Amino acid sequence: MIPDTSTTAVPGSADDRPVTETPLVGIIMGSKSDLKIMSAAADVLRQFGVPFEITLVSPHRTPHRMVEYAESARKRGLRVLIAGGGGAAHLPGMVAAFTILPVIGVPINSTTSIQGLDSVLSMIQMPAGVPVATVGIDSAANAAVLAIQMLAIHNARLADSLEKYRTTLKDRVMRTIEELRKGGFQDDV
């Protein structure tokens, strides 16, 4: 979908490193069972040529690992974190407490979840000063797009790729409208 992983950001900008080296986005999740949802974020980052790392971090089963991950993330060069969890999904909020990197939360409708609603409620009402940008239930792909939008603030190649991506979304809808019309669908636009 999105071409060219080799171009660099605008020279002299706040982020002029090549986007093919150090991971810029950290994808973490509470359990291996979340991977089938969270892998969509990895797919999108791959398509945009954004280097990322992906691993398991449970706030309840591996709390010290969570603190270590969050505290080292910025020093290791990460710019945005995407944190997914199901049920009592405390990972995004607690990671946000240990880093100033933006944290995007993905509520997951896991087997232990109350249709994902408990996870949403675990993420959205963060106390003032420690936000989590929560996307929709199971919306890992959107979390990745949001992460790329953040990186694109200082990266002309990514901004350009996002523009092209939006065009493909629009073109897809327009093609669907054409197909519907051919099948007899009558819209009045």
Instruction: Kindly list the residues in this chain that would bind ligand AIR in the complex (CB under 6 A).
Output: 29-31, 33-34, 58-61, 85-89, 108, 110, 112
Q: Which two three-digit tokens encode residue 29?
A: 């999740």
- Report the nearest approach of ligand AIR to the CB of residue 122 (Å): 8
Annotated ligand binding at 76? The verdict is no
CB closer to ligand AIR, 110 vs 161: 110
* The length of the chain, given as a count of residues: 189
- Report the nearest approach of ligand AIR to the CB of residue 61 (Å): 5
CB closer to ligand AIR, 110 vs 155: 110
- Report the nearest approach of ligand AIR to the CB of residue 87 (Å): 4
CB closer to ligand AIR, 49 vs 85: 85
Sign of CA dihedral 119, 122, 128, 131: negative
- Report the nearest approach of ligand AIR to the CB of residue 139 (Å): 15
Q: Which residue matches tokens 């990972």?
A: 91
**What is the full DSSP assignment across 94-141?**
HHHHH-SS-EEEEEE--TTSSTTHHHHHHHSSPPTT---EE--TT-HH
Please choose, from the candidates 146, 122, 127, the residue with its C-alpha nearest in 3D space to the C-alpha of residue 135: 146
**Which residues does the annotation place in the binding site for substrate?**
31, 34, 61
Q: Residue ranges for the binding site?
A: 31, 34, 61
